[in-house]
């Protein structure tokens, strides 16, 4: 069974808003030297709002199509866009036939043409090129830390929607504290684009950023770090994160995250608060020192 001090450690953790599923986890957590974080919904609140819209078309009815397509997606970006465009949603809509394009976005049929809503790769894959001015707008929004959603129709870019998310308030200090607590490598992984990811990481004690990832790429990074001999913890919130949570030596789920993530994880941050993570790392190191 778990040593007595580990049990005390777990009890202490529960009081601090953290759920640790067993004594072995405390041992593993004490050894962690690398923490890998998902960006959206983990380092950020995931409560997104449309902050900026750039228009390159006179056909404003297209926004009704965008709203209807995004209504069929459960992506957090889609939810923000539907909320923003709710006025464009007709009360009784014949459901649009839509398609999810993995790691890219959505496509739907709008007035006998395909309407694309997603990232730059989605438009690129479908032969839609951006002008120099449009690219400039895109990069300005991304450098500002916004996630960008592009709308393409009839071979042209019609809109760019800039979606803002906010870093959880305690995250900057919590990451700095993890470094002080002896965690050597802090890594951010995201499906979002490089410029946006870089802008978010800039204000944080993040050592490494990897962007434009497909869900399966996250677990590849966890394995790569493990092959380098590191002891890896992964922190995430989504269904996409569960393979990484299971692969890492310590999987840490946000309490407000999806059920699958919470079930797969070894540690749950009950209030989705990173302050609890600092407590847990401190406790684990102290507890493991006591049992030696
Ligand atoms: P993540 O949510 O971690 O970024 P996904 O694989 O779900 O990873 O999506 C990858 C990218 O594809 C997103 O960052 C976004 O740019 C685009 N995308 C996915 N779904 C949608 C959607 N419903 N609407 C707009 N863009 C989307
Ligand atoms: Mg996430």
- pLDDT by residue for the chain (292 residues), tens only, comes to 444 444 445 555 556 788 999 889 999 999 999 999 999 999 999 899 999 999 999 998 999 999 999 999 988 899 999 999 998 887 766 678 899 998 899 999 999 999 999 999 999 999 999 999 999 999 999 999 999 999 999 999 999 999 999 999 999 999 999 999 999 999 999 999 999 999 999 989 999 999 999 889 999 999 999 999 999 999 999 888 999 999 999 999 999 989 999 999 999 998 888 998 998 899 888 888 876 6
Q: Can you tell me which atom of ligand 1 is nearest the CA of 191? A: 4
Return the closest-CA partner of residue 70 out of 111, 115, 126. Answer: 115
Indicate if the alpha-carbon torsion angle 281, 287, 288, 289 is positive or negative. positive
Query: What is the Cα 140 distance to its own chain's centre?
Result: 21
CATH code for position 189: 3.40.50.1000
Are residue 144 and residue 286 in the same domain, yes or no?
Answer: no
Both 154 and 53 in one domain: the answer is yes
* Residue 103 · residue 84 · CB < 8 Å: no
Which 3 state secondary structure label does DSSP give 226?
A: helix
**CA of 69, closest atom in ligand 1:** 23
Residue 116 structure tokens: 């694309």
What's the structural domain count of the chain? 2
Candidates 38, 137, 192, 266; catalytic one: 38
Residue 197: partners with Cβ closer than 8 Å, 6 or more residues away: 39, 188, 190, 209, 211
38 assigned to active site:
yes
Give the closest ligand to the alpha carbon of residue 78: 1
Q: Hey, what are 99's tokens?
A: 């398609």
Binding pocket residue ranges, ligand 1, CB within 6 Å: 40, 70, 73, 75, 77-78, 103-106, 117-119, 149, 190-192, 215
Same domain, 146 and 215: no
* Domain encompassing residue 125: 49-164
pTM above 0.90, yes or no: no
Domain-terminating residue out of 124, 145, 164:
164
């Amino acid at each position: 069974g778990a040593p007595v001090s580990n049990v005390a450690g777990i009890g202490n953790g529960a009081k601090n808003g953290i759920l640790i599923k067993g004594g072995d986890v405390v041992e593993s957590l004490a050894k962690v030297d690398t923490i890998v974080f998902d960006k959206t919904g983990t380092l950020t609140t995931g409560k997104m709002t449309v902050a900026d819209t750039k228009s390159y078309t006179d056909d404003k009815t297209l926004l009704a199509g965008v709203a209807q397509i995004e209504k069929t997606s459960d992506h957090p970006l889609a939810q923000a866009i539907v909320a923003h465009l709710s006025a464009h949603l007709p009360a009784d809509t014949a459901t649009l036939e839509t398609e999810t394009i993995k790691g890219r976005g959505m496509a739907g049929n709008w007035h006998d043409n395909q309407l694309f809503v997603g990232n730059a790769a989605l438009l690129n894959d479908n032969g839609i090129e951006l002008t120099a001015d449009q690219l400039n707008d895109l990069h300005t929004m991304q450098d500002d830390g916004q996630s960008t959603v592009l709308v393409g129709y009839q071979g042209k870019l019609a809109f760019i929607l800039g979606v803002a998310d906010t870093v959880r308030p305690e995250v900057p200090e919590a990451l700095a504290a993890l470094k002080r607590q002896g965690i050597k490598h802090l890594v951010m992984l995201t499906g979002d684009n490089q410029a946006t990811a870089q802008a978010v990481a800039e204000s944080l004690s993040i050592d490494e950023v990897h962007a434009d990832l497909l869900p399966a790429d996250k677990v590849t990074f966890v394995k790569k770090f493990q092959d380098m001999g590191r002891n890896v913890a992964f922190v995430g919130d989504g269904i996409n994160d569960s393979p990484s949570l299971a692969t890492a030596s310590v999987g840490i789920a946000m309490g407000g995250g999806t059920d699958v993530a919470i079930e797969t994880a070894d540690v749950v941050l009950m209030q989705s608060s990173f302050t609890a993570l600092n407590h847990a790392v401190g406790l684990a190191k102290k507890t493991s020192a006591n049992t030696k």
